[in-house]
Structures are given as C-alpha cells and as structure tokens.
Amino acid sequence: MEDTELINEFINFISVERGLSRNTQVSYRIDLKGYEAFLKKRGLGFKGAGQEDVTEFLRAMQSGGSLTSTLARKLVAVKMLHRFLTNEGYADKDPTAFLDPPRKEMRLPSVLRKDEVEAILGKPDLSKPAGLRDKALLELLYATGMRVSEAADLRVEDLNLAGGFIRCFGKGGKERIIPVGGKAVEAVEAYLSVQCPVSSVQPKKNPKPETRNPPAFAGKQEGGLALCGPKQNYLFINPRGSRFSRQGLWGIVKNYVKKAGITKKVTPHTFRHSFATHLLQGGADLRSVQEMLGHADISTTQLYLHLDRQTVQDAYKKFHPRA
C-alpha cells in the first residue's frame, strides 16, 4: 500500500475510532504529507523509516522556523501514524517508540482589555440582518469562550436561551454546557428573530447529537442573510445558506477588530483568552473556568493565572515609586 493510502487509512482511523475533530484531522494530514515528502527525498517510505529519519525530519522543520508547539504536534501525528501502522500490521516496528516530544515553552496568550472588547462589540450595524448575526457571534464568543470552530458547529437546537446556557461540542466531540450572559442572549434572540422562527429557539432538554433535526420550514434570503431552511439548522449561516467555515467566522471577527481601531495582533483565540482572563480577574475559580473552556488538563487553564500575575506586575512597575 502506498504512503498516501496509508495516510488515508490513518485519518479514517482517528476519525472513526478515536473521534478526533475535523480540524485535528486536517492538521495531521498536512503534517503527514510533509513527513511523506521528507522521507521520499531520502528514498524512504513510512515502513522503512527509522528513529534517525524522524529526528532529522523534526530538525528540518525546526530549521525551517517551526515553533516548538508546532514541532510537538507534528511529532504526535508521526508517532500516532507509526503506532497505527504497527498495530495494524502494515509495519514491523515503531521508530518513534522512544522519542519524547520537545518541551513546550510557556507563551502568555494575547488578550484584549475590557474597553477594547466593548469597542468591538459596539461596531456591528444592528439595522441590518448581517449586523445582527455578527453581533450575536461576537457576544457569544466573549460570553462563552468558545473556539471559533465550535461556534461554526453550533446549531439552533444547542441553545437554551430561557435557561441561559448553550451546549457545545469541543475537541474530540466532547460535550460541555456553558452559561450565557444576558447581553449575549439578547443578541442571539435579536439575530434569531430575522434568521429563524421563534419556535426553533427553544431546544429539547439535553438533546442527543443524533437527534438533531433540522427546522421544518423553507429557507429564503432577506437583506443578504440566508434564513433557516430544511438543511440549515446551523446557527451561523452565510449568505448562500450554508454553514460558516471557521475561516469565514474569523474573517467577520477580524473585520470588526479593524473597525474598532485595534492594532495589536488578534488571533481566532484572542476572544477565548480574554474571556478566561477577565473571569479570573473578576474572582472566578480556576476549576469553573477550566470546565467552561473544556480543558482536559487544568495546567492549561493555569496559564491564565500567569497572565493575570503579569498584569499585576506591570501595574506595580508602572505605579510604584520605587519599582
């Protein structure tokens, strides 16, 4: 079997057997195609690769400017591939069995100040349907700390606006329930008033993923915004009536960041970082923030404590007369 076919088999395995997210599958496929190309230049395939070849691949990626976090992800993809090939009988040995991932450096995430968040949230034009959609998106991202990809996958029946929470599916399809504040609820209700009939707003209590049924009404266009249709029960839909991609939603956010006059670097995760940081600054406990973010390991959430301490240190250095 050719290496390209082995990659397809592996991606199918992590999708069906491991339940890894669509984004992870895409990332791993890109990483493994790069690994395949590297080995091909050395006259090798996956089955003939040794530990030295894997090490040289990572060294080449590092020389090309890859960050430590990127190298760690590439190695995870390569290790999982070789373990799969060995377990399935495609290869006799696993050359990555004794390789440890590179230690990640701790990088403090970029966050927005509260006044910067307010500036962004105030930019959508609420006289237009698209503005109502964008306002709902921005409010939800800041109110829940959802990843942009999770917002793209959000469906109307995942909302319980009366109860003040939403159901979200994170990495690996893991489900979590997140509280939603009043401002975000108002923004979503305003958006749904033009995007969907009111009857679709109230979902069943904790519906199972397989019971998600699309609204039974015809779709149409109004003011450049596609309304719900038989196959369109995603919350955020583009003018063509299809689910927004992660990149499409991020483009909306980036547009309002620019309109707000914010020049600092803002990434798709900045709203998520700001959500967590502002909660901790307000006195929220770490475990609650971990649960809302969907972090499997609390050490990931603890990074925001370091960020908060950095804010305190900066204030001390700025205002203390003998700092």
The question of whether 272 is a catalytic residue gets the answer yes
The question of whether 304 is a catalytic residue gets the answer yes
Residue that has been written with the tokens 């509280």 in this structure: 179
**Predicted pLDDT of residue 277:** 83
Q: Where are the domains of the chain?
A: 3-87, 115-264
The question of whether 269 is a catalytic residue gets the answer yes
- Contact assessment for residue 154 and residue 235, using Cβ atoms and an 8 Å cutoff: yes
**Predicted pLDDT of residue 237:** 85
Domains 3-87 and 115-264 belong to one CATH topology: no
- Contact assessment for residue 119 and residue 262, using Cβ atoms and an 8 Å cutoff: yes
Find the catalytic residue in 79, 135, 155, 272: 272
The question of whether 171 is a catalytic residue gets the answer yes
**Predicted pLDDT of residue 123:** 95
**Predicted pLDDT of residue 221:** 40
Question: Which CATH superfamily is 3-87 part of?
Answer: Tyrosine recombinase, N-terminal domain (1.10.150.130)
Find the catalytic residue in 74, 147, 155, 273: 147
The question of whether 273 is a catalytic residue gets the answer no
**Predicted pLDDT of residue 225:** 52
Find the catalytic residue in 83, 113, 176, 269: 269
The CATH code of domain 115-264 reads: 1.10.443.10
Find the catalytic residue in 113, 171, 176, 212: 171
Partnered with residue 175 across adjacent β-strands are 169
Task: Spell out the per-residue pLDDT of the chain, length 323, in tens.
Answer: 899 999 999 998 888 777 777 888 999 999 999 999 999 999 999 999 999 999 999 999 988 888 777 888 899 999 999 999 999 889 888 999 888 766 655 555 678 899 999 999 999 999 998 999 999 999 999 988 888 888 988 998 899 998 888 888 877 677 888 888 899 999 999 999 886 543 333 444 444 444 443 332 223 344 445 445 434 588 988 888 788 888 889 899 999 999 999 998 887 788 888 888 888 777 777 777 777 777 766 666 666 665 555 555 665 566 656 55
**Predicted pLDDT of residue 149:** 86
Tell me how far apart the alpha carbons of residues 134 and 250 are, in angstroms, rounded to a whole number.
11
The question of whether 42 is a catalytic residue gets the answer no
**Predicted pLDDT of residue 278:** 84
